[in-house]
Amino acid sequence: MSSKKEITKNIVALLKTLPKDRLERYSSFKGTQLARFQDSAKVESMSERDLQLQYLALRDMVNDKYKNYYRLSDKLLKPKGNPEYYDRLLSELKGEKKETFLTAVRTVVFGKSMEGIDYDSISPEELNSLIQNKNQDVQLLKKTELQYQSLTIPYLKEANSLKVTNWEIHGKAMVKNNKCVRLTRDVKHQASNMFASRPIEAESFEMELTFSISTPNARGLLGDGLAIWFLETKPDIGDVFGVPNYFNGMGIMIDTYKNGKRGTFPYVNIMLGDGTTKYSKSTDGYDTRLAGCPLKKLVNPPTGETKMRLVYLKNGYLSIDFNLNGVHEDWTNCVALTDVHLPDVKYLGLSAETGELTQQNDIIENRIYGLLKPDGTYINSLLELEALAVKKDLQQEQKTHKIRERKGYGRKSLARLQRAEQRIKERDRKRRLEKYGDEDATFVVRNFRRVITFIKYLMCLVVGVLVLWGVFIIYRMQRQNKKSRVVGLLD
């Protein structure tokens, strides 16, 4: 941006992307700022430097930069006493679902949500595995493979064809039909990308990408990197890991060479682009970074391949895991975010680039699945997953109960009930012994003992006061007698 007019134009464009206020107020931020920057006299009174700072601040706000840099913990967002409070409040502000009297009463009286999945005790890796349905004992979701975004051996439509099934390739990629799609060879200044022919139709999906980044000559330095894209349109070749700058959508850039001053490399850098924001190579995208993580042991993996697992849910949940050592289902979480929104139309793409330094970037396989609820609609959020887990548990309990009834175990015998009651009593006595030092310390007994102890201390205090009072009286009497004797002698 080289002039006030261009900067102001970009500021107004960003302001227009802000949503309309849901709550009525005296004046809105969007309306006030639009009026300010559309007033040529006010704009003229500002310096170009001030306008640039205004643009950068507004861009960071629109991209939720600081929200993701300083994320609030779950303890604040989901307090134990009322974990669903903020979710329902935001839902009402967005006009999705209005709070009713009954839900408000339930919050005040019970103060808790359904007891399904304990998200405080489950790791992102375990949660993503649960979503993937790889544990056959917990089938929560239906999964449908998205054929138009999957990539499997053999890649070519026909043996003599140069076109990969359902994918469009640009650049110097090389297709080895039964091995890999090599986006870049170990050669300087190469770039290529491949994008699915059709956009992803699923609103919630999970993807498992198998790839390899290697240096056949076993050098120490390499560059530049590999990227995974979810963009609004299919691009041509560009200078950001093989894709043009100012993209609209999300880029997951696996950067292997450090240009800026920050970070440990290789590094996974996630950026949400709005079509007007530039990715800066000189800083490795630090200024526009949404989130990321260092990724050691990525280059020259011992098994020859690396796996990336991505889970995206409709309401904005995004989680990315990597398997770096080839051990089955040994995932390490990179990022887990809760407010990432992809474009309504999103094309999946893969790209890579080399510069003065080189590396070999191979795509081996990609599997992607839509995540559906049993009724055929897409899963919306983790709360819906929790509800499905509770329903699944109830169905399992009912099934077990019916089996027991068929086998004649419908009721427990009196002896078994008595034994169960005895075990409960023994457990309670043991707990009281550990906590209070007495296994018979019931509520009444504990409070009676507290009262007795209080009376004892009170009596000791009264006796102590009386003793001190008596000593004080004796001291006063002795002093008075001594004074009387002294006065008599003088007379």
pLDDT in tens, 137-149: 445 678 899 999 9
Supply the angle between the helices 48-62 and 4-16 in degrees, to the nearest 10.
20
Token pair 């007007």: residue: 276
Rounded Cα distance, 374 and 378, in Å:
9
List, for residues 344-377, the tens digit of each pLDDT value: 999 999 999 999 999 999 999 999 999 998 888 9
Q: What pLDDT does residue 271 have?
A: 96
> What digits encode the pLDDT tens for the residues 46-86?
888 888 888 888 888 877 776 666 666 666 777 765 677 77
Does residue 312 carry a pLDDT above 70?
yes
Residue 160 has pLDDT above 50, yes or no: yes
pLDDT in tens, 187-202: 999 999 999 999 999 9
- Whether the per-residue pLDDT at 484 is higher than 70: the answer is no
At 235 the three-state DSSP class reads coil
Comparison of pLDDT for 18 and 402, the residue scoring more: 18
Long-range contacts of 378-381 (CB under 8 A, 24+ apart): 378/202, 378/203, 378/204, 378/314, 379/141, 379/204, 379/313, 379/314, 380/204, 380/313, 380/314, 380/315, 381/313, 381/314, 381/315, 381/317
